[in-house]
């Protein structure tokens, strides 16, 4: 994963500077191209020559070096990297960074860079805990600087506590995590696609204070909307009443009843994919009472119900603007796959995600889900997973499908 990544390593002047040599080796083993800048104090602990032997490149130390500037200006040096890594980040270096000082090559490169910066602090425990250092740390984190460590333990100064440079392999791990998160953020195969998701229950009014509802929490549908948006889709979530916050980067429309949900879905078309996760109430009152129904001593009222529109079937049946991929959900308590297949045929959607919601599975309202993906010609049994993991997997499948629609 780190193959051919370029890291500008700024080596600060602390006793832990020697560990940067091992770090360079570990990064190079993973295919990273490391270019190093050393502060003058760092050169008191290790030599630019040992650093250059390990990086295989010239080590830069001076801001006003005619040769260095001619070969590689400090601006270029600070920009020709995917990540700037400061190891060890001494208290003084952190203070300079927090204040925007540019008094030597290292601090100038840190100020001139337009690339992400990661620091691995290392210093005496009192220096680390000093309010000034903690204040600088908060400033740096507010500026988007990523931090790894420090760890706790015996310090070179003889004291014990926080301030040890993070283990070299932990720094390598943090670098890997950083690059994989960046890769995920740029991996947006649904960019330019429009997605529509329904979620949550619907409430069907009996009178102004009572309604018919069900136990849907909305968690799975919200997670799917979020996962589609994370892959770049312009996503509209049509949600029945839930207690969940609007997912990030998703246009959320809140509705109450099945008929409102259908109208909001139709207004959100066209879409490349529609995922109907909502537990839509099957029935509503034939005539909702405009006033609260009173007891009146005549026994319980009988509720006359009529069927609600089927949103999934309606979207599947659209002629001109049918979404390219229409996906339904089937919550069943028995014969899960067989009922789901029958539902797929009946509602004419492309895929059905089926799950067993028998009491005891904990799926209804819970955080985990075990699903089967029923397509035209296959049934995939997915392993139990969190609702967000199921959502991410489904979003990936949708992205793959929209890339190459099945014949």
Q: Which residues lie near ligand CTP (CB under 6 A)?
A: 198, 258, 276-278, 280, 282, 308, 310-312, 328-331, 343
DSSP labels for 50-65?
HHHHHHTSPEE--TT-
Task: Determine the Cα–Cα distance for residues 362 and 300; give it in Å rounded to an integer.
Answer: 33
**157, 265, 276, 349: the active-site residue:** 157
Closest to ligand CTP by CB, 68 or 350: 350
The residue whose two tokens read 């799975």 is: 220
How many other CB atoms are there within 10 angstroms of residue 393's CB atom?
A: 17
Closest to ligand CTP by CB, 122 or 308: 308
* Buried-exposed string 279-313: b where 16+ CB fall within 10 A, e elsewhere: bbbeebbeeeeeeeeeeeeeeeeeeeeeebebbbb
Closest to ligand CTP by CB, 94 or 278: 278
Cis peptide before 159 (omega within 30 of 0): no
C-alpha dihedral sign at 62, 63, 67, 72: positive
Task: Determine the Cα–Cα distance for residues 127 and 374; give it in Å rounded to an integer.
Answer: 60
Cis peptide before 270 (omega within 30 of 0): yes
Closest to ligand CTP by CB, 16 or 280: 280
DSSP state of 201: B
Smallest gap, in angstroms, from Cβ of residue 250 to ligand CTP? 18
Smallest gap, in angstroms, from Cβ of residue 265 to ligand CTP? 9
Smallest gap, in angstroms, from Cβ of residue 344 to ligand CTP? 10
237: Cβ–Cβ under 8 A, 6 or more apart, which residues?
197, 198, 199, 221, 222, 225, 246, 247, 250, 251, 252, 253
**Cβ pair 163, 150 in contact under 8 A:** yes
Smallest gap, in angstroms, from Cβ of residue 340 to ligand CTP? 9
Smallest gap, in angstroms, from Cβ of residue 213 to ligand CTP? 14
Structure tokens at 336: 């899960």
> Are β-strands 204-205 and 117-121 bridged in parallel, bridged antiparallel, or unpaired?
unpaired
Task: Determine the Cα–Cα distance for residues 274 and 236; give it in Å rounded to an integer.
Answer: 10
Provide the terminal-to-terminal Cα distance of the chain, rounded to the nearest Å: 34
Closest to ligand CTP by CB, 39 or 198: 198
Smallest gap, in angstroms, from Cβ of residue 390 to ligand CTP? 15
DSSP labels for 381-393?
EPPPEEHHHHHHH
* Catalytic (active site) residue 349: no
DSSP state of 290: S
Closest to ligand CTP by CB, 33 or 203: 203
Closest to ligand CTP by CB, 127 or 327: 327
Closest to ligand CTP by CB, 147 or 219: 219
**Cβ pair 393, 385 in contact under 8 A:** yes
Supply the residues annotated as catalytic.
Answer: 157
């Amino acid at each position: 994963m780190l193959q051919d990544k370029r890291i500008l390593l700024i080596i600060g002047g602390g006793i832990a500077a020697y560990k940067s040599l091992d770090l360079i080796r570990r990064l190079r083993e993973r295919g990273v191209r490391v270019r190093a800048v050393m502060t003058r104090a760092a050169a008191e602990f290790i030599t630019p020559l040992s650093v250059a032997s390990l990086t295989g490149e010239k080590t830069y130390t001076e801001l006003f070096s005619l040769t260095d500037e001619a070969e590689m200006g400090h601006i270029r040096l600070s920009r020709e990297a995917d990540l700037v890594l400061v190891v060890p980040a001494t208290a003084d270096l952190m203070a300079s960074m927090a204040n925007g000082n540019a008094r030597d090559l290292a601090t100038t490169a840190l100020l001139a860079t337009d690339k992400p910066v990661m620091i691995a602090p290392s210093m005496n425990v009192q220096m680390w805990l000093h309010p000034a250092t903690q204040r600088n740390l908060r400033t740096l984190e507010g500026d988007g600087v990523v931090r790894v460590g420090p760890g706790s333990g015996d310090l070179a100064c003889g004291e014990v506590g926080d301030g040890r440079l993070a283990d070299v392999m932990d720094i390598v791990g943090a670098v890997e995590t950083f690059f994989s998160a960046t890769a995920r953020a740029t991996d947006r195969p649904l960019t330019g696609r429009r997605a529509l998701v329904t979620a949550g229950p619907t409430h069907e009014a009996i009178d102004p204070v009572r309604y018919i509802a069900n136990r849907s929490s909305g968690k799975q549908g919200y997670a799917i909307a979020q996962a589609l948006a994370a892959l770049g889709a312009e996503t509209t979530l049509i949600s029945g009443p839930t207690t969940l916050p609007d997912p990030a980067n998703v246009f959320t429309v809140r509705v109450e009843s099945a008929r409102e949900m259908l109208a909001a879905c139709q207004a959100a078309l066209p879409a490349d994919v529609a995922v109907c996760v909502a537990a839509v109430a099957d029935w509503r009152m034939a005539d909702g009472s405009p006033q609260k129904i009173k007891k009146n001593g005549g026994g319980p009222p009988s509720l006359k119900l009529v069927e609600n529109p089927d949103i999934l079937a309606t979207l599947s049946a659209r002629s001109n603007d049918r979404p390219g991929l229409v996906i339904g959900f089937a919550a069943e308590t028995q014969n899960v796959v067989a009922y789901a297949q029958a539902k797929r045929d009946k509602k004419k959607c492309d895929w059905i995600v089926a799950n067993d919601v028998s009491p005891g599975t904990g799926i209804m309202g819970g955080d985990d889900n075990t699903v089967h993906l029923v397509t035209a010609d296959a049934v995939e049994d997915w392993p139990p997973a969190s609702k967000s993991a199921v959502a991410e997997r489904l979003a990936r499948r949708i992205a793959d499908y929209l890339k190459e629609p099945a014949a």
